[in-house]
Amino acid sequence: MPIAQVQAEHQRLTILIALNESPDYGANTSMLSDVLAQFALGCSQDQLKTLLNWLEQNGYVSLERLTENTWIAKITRSGIDVAEGVSVVPGIKRPGPRSHP
């Protein structure tokens, strides 16, 4: 599998997990860019928009486009299922098991 495909799968999962862990299940593009960079998955704004568009087209997020460069992403129920490992879909890395206290 090409490294670019592996990276995109990790980036999509990281975006969904970040949105799922957000108090309002949403985040803007600037915040998501910072989250991706924190996990060595950084990308350009254009790449981030491509990732978000893919997630929206597949029903895992909804997007509100405030300006050309500022979007707000909100996770959908389907996206939560993917972020929590309940649903496994091609194009998004499956999360590892979470430890329970």
What global pTM score does this model have? Answer: 0.94
Residue pointed to by tokens 């981030």: 48
In which band, very low, low, confident or very high, does the pLDDT at 100 lie, cut at 50, 70 and 90?
very low
In which band, very low, low, confident or very high, does the pLDDT at 32 lie, cut at 50, 70 and 90?
very high
CATH of 3-83 given 1.10.10.10, 3.40.50.300, 2.60.40.10, 3.40.50.2300:
1.10.10.10
In which band, very low, low, confident or very high, does the pLDDT at 97 lie, cut at 50, 70 and 90?
confident
Instruction: Please enumerate in sequence order all residues whose Cβ is within 8 A of that of 84, keeping only pairs 6 or more positions apart, or say none.
Output: 20, 95
Q: Is the pLDDT of residue 101 over 70?
A: no
Quick: pLDDT tens for 69-80. 899 999 999 999
DSSP 69: S
Domain boundaries, the chain: 3-83
Q: Is the pLDDT of residue 99 over 60?
A: no
Taking a C-beta distance cutoff of 8 angstroms, is the pair 71, 63 a contact? yes
